[in-house]
Amino acid sequence: MKCSLKWLRQYVDISLPPSDLAKLITAAGTEVAHVEVIGGWDNVFVGQIAVIEPHPNADRLRLATVNLGAENVTVVCGAPNLVIGDKIAFARAGANLLDGHTGEKIKLKPSKIRGVLSEGMVCSEMELGLSRSHEGILVLPPDAPLGARLADYMGDVIFDLEVTPNRPDMLSVLGIAHETAALTGAAVREPNLDFIPAGRSIDESISVEITDAQLCPRYCAGIVTGVKIGESPRWLKDALTASGVRSINNVVDITNFVMLEFGQPLHAFDYDHISRSKIIVRLANDGETMTTLDGVERKLTAETLIIADPDRPIAIAGVMGGATSEVTQGTTAVLIESANFKPSSVHNTQVRLKMPSEASARFERSIRAELALPALRRAVQLMIEVCGGKAAEGLIDRYPGRKDAAAVLLTTSEVKRILGLDVPPAQIEKTLVSLGCKVARVSENSFEVIPPYWRSDLRLNADFIEDIARVMGYQSIPDTLLSGAIPHQEPNPMLGLRLNMRQVLAGFGFQEVITYALTDRPTLEKGMNSPLSPEPLHIEHPMSSEQECLRTSLRGNVLAALAANIRREEGAIFLFETGHVYLPKPGDLPVEPEMLCGVLTSTGSEKVWRGRKEPVDFFDTKGAVEGLMAALGVGVNFVESQDPGLRLGRQAAVIAENKFQMGVLGQLHPRVTQAFDLPDNTCLFEINADVLLPLATGTMHYEPLPKFPAVMRDLAVIVGEGTSHSQIVRIINGFSLVKKAVLFDVYSGKQVAAGNKSLAYSLTFQSADHTLTDTEVDKVLSAILKKLADELGATLRS
């Protein structure tokens, strides 16, 4: 809502500077987003054209003598609309103007034009920054005070208010005046609504029928005959321009003016085009059509509330008028509608027809039905004054949905309970009265309060309490800390697990990313390299095809993030994300398991001295998962797996406590690396944190420190290529004196027979009850060797 300070001042005295008033209104709940100062025209004055003479050296230029009251000046002027006697805006040298052609800021300098000195300039609207019009000079009204500073005469300040959905009153200049009055302690001068009717009784001219009091609680109408359609007077045009509304003709402008003034949308019908002198407010029939003011034929539905005459629809209630009853140049009799419609009905129609308007914005915010009559009176009064018509005797006022605002009982203790501030009863009363409420004292500490007719948001105790607080200013409420008992807390272990995982991985060098929960099917499919099962949840009206559904896997998005980064830098990149995936569940909300997905890749070797040289591989990935799980205190092992997104033979399922599969890791399937344009060696791990959660209990197991020394021995064995490290280690660990077996070398090549490989282990022997002797250890070592030979065909590498 754009509100002119000049207009506002007609109803309330304002002594504050505009920027201070803006701050006050903002603090009280309606943000003044912008304060625009119109004017700032130093050295521009109201002048009058006294003499026009031809320019001695140019056919298209003229010399004008401008009377400034105290003196006459001569200017060179090229404007076509120069007329003797017209009041104009005259700029002296030094005035700050906009260039009439480029729109850039300029400072006017005295200049000679074709040999004649011009002492200033007669300004166009564009040069004054009033509009884009540079057709001719701005002609001021004849009553413009000669010699006055233009800024005093025409300057204004426009407040641009961002009105919250609960305050339709702030979509009106009067509402803003009431707000200003309450905040500054001033009083409001409401406009005079009197007029003298001169026509015949309105009941002889029109009858109104409302079919549904819920949809149309009130319908008021007035008729003005003998109007002359024409251009609006300057004051009316200026008022509309200040609020950003285009001037159409005097009748339409008056309806808009009153809407801006009272917040009550009005509609003017050409009375002579209403058939059979009857208006019916009803729901449209399915398939009924009408052409709206914008010339578009609209198909109506049974949910659309319309204004109709007995023959056809003539307007869509609260949204837009119809073309057949439009006020045109030929109109002589006008029916003014000032009605109240159900907010949701107007909203739904406006959304369905995609026709939001100034009117619908007010109805949707649920304006009070009480506004209809005063706004109508104002419109009739102005139409007589501006359009020269005669008002019919009486006004139509059908009010089947009348619901008077209920009085609310407010106590000082309730105010104290909610605000935490003792507000004296007298101040409560004074504050509410300043807002326009009717306040009746019930007892020393309680009141009955009735909200003013322009406020639709004051219904409950809390609403009035907010108004007391915001008028006093929130700064008057003290700051206290919660004093009650701290409630019991239920543990939320996922928070701790997630934080642990994230910190451990960041410590390993992984960068955390957050990708969008919304994605598209191709990205999901490419990431998993398999058809989607289950089918993800889709968005009803996606904003773009890239965000059509909810992810069922993190892989696609994380791989896409990796691909984007690998294009920008060489070396190793490790990324991870923890987040939800959304698995549909029939008839209910989806299940949202918490997933962890890490990706690792490298291109080239890191171009850093002493940086990482080897390309990232499966064992980096496995190491990360092993390290993570060790940090979480979860024992894991790895078994062969068959995830379609990973390369067969280079992937493993992550098993916790030998039974819970909680994830998978491995090198990406070539189709996946290809789809995302990633290096072949890119690896991934994926852990379901919901499965991990009950296992990652953080319980620590204590083992007493050894009392007897350990004995170290190395053991290198040669086995067939097909024999795995885990087979060997399982046998070695089967011997009770073996405390630890660490693999330190894997070799296959010239020094071992083809088809064989050598694995070397560093073994630690230790006993809990005595110091081991060399003989004892040698005995165990040969037993190990024998078992390895018997079961795996292993031989000692010599």
Partner 1 sequence: MDIKTQLEELKAKALGELAAGGDGASLEAWRVRYLGKKSQLTEILRSLAGLSIEERKEVGALSNTLKIELDAAFKIAEETLLARAASSADAKDTIDISLPGRPFPRGHLHPVCQALGEISSIFTAMGFQVLEGPEVEWDYYNFDMLNMPKEHPARAATDTFWLDAPPNDAGWKMLLRTHTSPMQVRTMEKNRPPIRIVVPGIVHRYEATDATHLSMFSQIEGLAVDEGISMADLKGTLHEFARRFFGTDRRVRFRCDFFPYVEPGAEMAVECGVCRGDGCRLCGGSGWIEVLGAGMVHPNVLEGVGIDSKKYSGFAFGMGIERIPLLRAGVEDIRLFYGNDLRFLRQF
What is d(CA 522, CA 557) in angstroms, rounded to the nearest whole number?
11
Q: According to the binding rule CB under 8 A, does residue 343 interact with partner 1?
A: yes
337/364 with CB nearer partner 1: 364
Q: Which of 506, 768, 783, 796 binds partner 1 (CB under 8 A)?
A: 506
Considering only the stretches 139-147, 329-337, 487-495, 663-671, report the one whose residues sit in contact with partner 1 under the rule CB under 8 A.
Answer: 487-495
What is d(CA 477, CA 352) in angstroms, rounded to the nearest whole number?
44
Q: Which of 104, 143, 194, 588 binds partner 1 (CB under 8 A)?
A: 588
Nearest in space to 762 (alpha carbons), one of 724, 706, 712, 711: 712
Q: According to the binding rule CB under 8 A, does residue 465 interact with partner 1?
A: yes
Q: Which of 466, 520, 643, 686 binds partner 1 (CB under 8 A)?
A: 466
Query: Do strands 111-113 and 116-118 pair parallel, antiparallel, or not at all (unpaired)?
Result: antiparallel
Q: Which of 37, 442, 564, 743 binds partner 1 (CB under 8 A)?
A: 564
Burial bucket for residue 584 (CB in 10 Å: 0-12, 13-18, 19+): middle
- Tell me the closest approach of the beta carbon of residue 416 to partner 1, in angstroms: 8
Q: Which of 479, 703, 769, 774 binds partner 1 (CB under 8 A)?
A: 479
Q: Which of 507, 534, 644, 720 binds partner 1 (CB under 8 A)?
A: 507
Q: Which of 85, 330, 531, 587 binds partner 1 (CB under 8 A)?
A: 587
Q: According to the binding rule CB under 8 A, does residue 503 interact with partner 1?
A: yes
Site mask, partner 1, residues 513-552, x = CB under 8 A? Answer: xxxxxx------------------xxxxx-x---x--x--
Is 236:257 a contact under the CB 8 Å cutoff? yes
Considering only the stretches 74-82, 91-99, 475-483, 708-716, report the one whose residues sit in contact with partner 1 under the rule CB under 8 A.
Answer: 475-483
Helix (H) or strand (E) holding 663: strand 660-668
Helix (H) or strand (E) holding 128: none
Within positions 403 to 442, which residues make up the interface with partner 1, using CB under 8 A?
416-421
Q: According to the binding rule CB under 8 A, does residue 477 interact with partner 1?
A: yes
Q: According to the binding rule CB under 8 A, does residue 573 interact with partner 1?
A: yes
Handedness of CA 779, 785, 786, 791 (dihedral sign): positive
- Tell me the closest approach of the beta carbon of residue 516 to partner 1, in angstroms: 6
Q: According to the binding rule CB under 8 A, does residue 638 interact with partner 1?
A: no
Within positions 683 to 712, which residues make up the interface with partner 1, using CB under 8 A?
none
264/766 with CB nearer partner 1: 264
Site mask, partner 1, residues 189-228, x = CB under 8 A? Answer: ----------------------------------------
Please name the residues in contact with 726: beta carbons below 8 A apart, sequence gap of 6 or more. Answer: none
What is d(CA 592, CA 589) in angstroms, rounded to the nearest whole number?
9
Q: According to the binding rule CB under 8 A, does residue 555 interact with partner 1?
A: no
- Tell me the closest approach of the beta carbon of residue 443 to partner 1, in angstroms: 18
Within positions 352 to 381, which residues make up the interface with partner 1, using CB under 8 A?
364-366
What is d(CA 678, CA 528) in angstroms, rounded to the nearest whole number?
15
Q: According to the binding rule CB under 8 A, does residue 492 interact with partner 1?
A: yes
Is 179:159 a contact under the CB 8 Å cutoff? no
Query: Do strands 795-796 and 711-720 pair parallel, antiparallel, or not at all (unpaired)?
Result: antiparallel
190/546 with CB nearer partner 1: 546
Q: According to the binding rule CB under 8 A, does residue 444 interact with partner 1?
A: no
What is d(CA 427, CA 512) in angstroms, rounded to the nearest whole number?
55
Considering only the stretches 288-296, 472-480, 634-642, 698-706, report the one whose residues sit in contact with partner 1 under the rule CB under 8 A.
Answer: 472-480
Tokens of 459: 């219904």
* Radius of gyration, CA atoms only, the chain: 42
The three-class DSSP label of residue 337 is strand
Site mask, partner 1, residues 150-189, x = CB under 8 A? Answer: --------------xxxx----------------------
Tokens of 715: 């053991």
At 757, give phi and psi (nearest 5°). Answer: -145, 160
30/225 with CB nearer partner 1: 30
Please name the residues in contact with 604: beta carbons below 8 A apart, sequence gap of 6 or more. Answer: 570, 571
Size of the site for partner 1 (CB under 8 A): 97
Q: Which amino acid is at 83?
A: V
Q: According to the binding rule CB under 8 A, does residue 511 interact with partner 1?
A: yes
Q: According to the binding rule CB under 8 A, does residue 480 interact with partner 1?
A: yes
Please name the residues in contact with 280: beta carbons below 8 A apart, sequence gap of 6 or more. Answer: 208, 209, 211, 307, 308, 309, 310
Q: Which of 70, 426, 486, 705 binds partner 1 (CB under 8 A)?
A: 486
499/796 with CB nearer partner 1: 499
- Tell me the closest approach of the beta carbon of residue 623 to partner 1, in angstroms: 12
Considering only the stretches 329-337, 498-506, 649-657, 677-685, report the one whose residues sit in contact with partner 1 under the rule CB under 8 A.
Answer: 498-506
Tokens of 662: 């909680």
Considering only the stretches 64-72, 217-225, 444-452, 485-493, report the one whose residues sit in contact with partner 1 under the rule CB under 8 A.
Answer: 485-493
Q: Which of 174, 405, 428, 469 binds partner 1 (CB under 8 A)?
A: 469
Q: According to the binding rule CB under 8 A, does residue 463 interact with partner 1?
A: yes
What is d(CA 742, CA 798) in angstroms, rounded to the nearest whole number?
19
What CA–CA distances, in Å, run from 308 to 237, 283, 318? Answer: 31, 9, 13
Q: According to the binding rule CB under 8 A, does residue 445 interact with partner 1?
A: no
Tokens of 17: 């500077």
Within positions 63 to 102, which residues make up the interface with partner 1, using CB under 8 A?
none
Within positions 11 to 50, which residues make up the interface with partner 1, using CB under 8 A?
26-29, 31
Give the largest Cα separation in the chain, rounded.
131
Q: According to the binding rule CB under 8 A, does residue 143 interact with partner 1?
A: no
* Cα angle, residue 250 at apex, residues 249 and 252 outer, rounded to 5°: 70
Helix (H) or strand (E) holding 780: helix 774-792
What is d(CA 730, CA 747) in angstroms, rounded to the nearest whole number?
20
92/368 with CB nearer partner 1: 368
205/515 with CB nearer partner 1: 515
Considering only the stretches 94-102, 587-595, 693-701, 765-773, report the one whose residues sit in contact with partner 1 under the rule CB under 8 A.
Answer: 587-595
143/588 with CB nearer partner 1: 588
Tokens of 789: 């030979």
Q: According to the binding rule CB under 8 A, does residue 609 interact with partner 1?
A: yes
Q: Which of 102, 489, 545, 798 binds partner 1 (CB under 8 A)?
A: 489
Q: Which of 301, 565, 727, 762 binds partner 1 (CB under 8 A)?
A: 565
Q: According to the binding rule CB under 8 A, does residue 141 interact with partner 1?
A: no
Q: According to the binding rule CB under 8 A, does residue 460 interact with partner 1?
A: yes
- Tell me the closest approach of the beta carbon of residue 431 to partner 1, in angstroms: 13
Q: According to the binding rule CB under 8 A, does residue 51 interact with partner 1?
A: no
Burial bucket for residue 350 (CB in 10 Å: 0-12, 13-18, 19+): buried
Within positions 710 to 739, which residues make up the interface with partner 1, using CB under 8 A?
none
At 157, give phi and psi (nearest 5°). Answer: -125, 130
Q: According to the binding rule CB under 8 A, does residue 607 interact with partner 1?
A: no
Is 550:518 a contact under the CB 8 Å cutoff? yes
H-only helix segments in 388-492: 412-419, 425-434, 461-472
Tokens of 488: 């019991």
Considering only the stretches 107-115, 401-409, 589-597, 681-689, report the one whose residues sit in contact with partner 1 under the rule CB under 8 A.
Answer: 589-597
- Tell me the closest approach of the beta carbon of residue 264 to partner 1, in angstroms: 17
Give the DSSP letter of residue 226. Answer: S
417/786 with CB nearer partner 1: 417
Bridge partners of residue 269, in order along the sequence: 335
Nearest in space to 762 (alpha carbons), one of 721, 724, 695, 717: 717
What is d(CA 86, CA 48) in angstroms, rounded to the nearest whole number?
6
Burial bucket for residue 678 (CB in 10 Å: 0-12, 13-18, 19+): buried
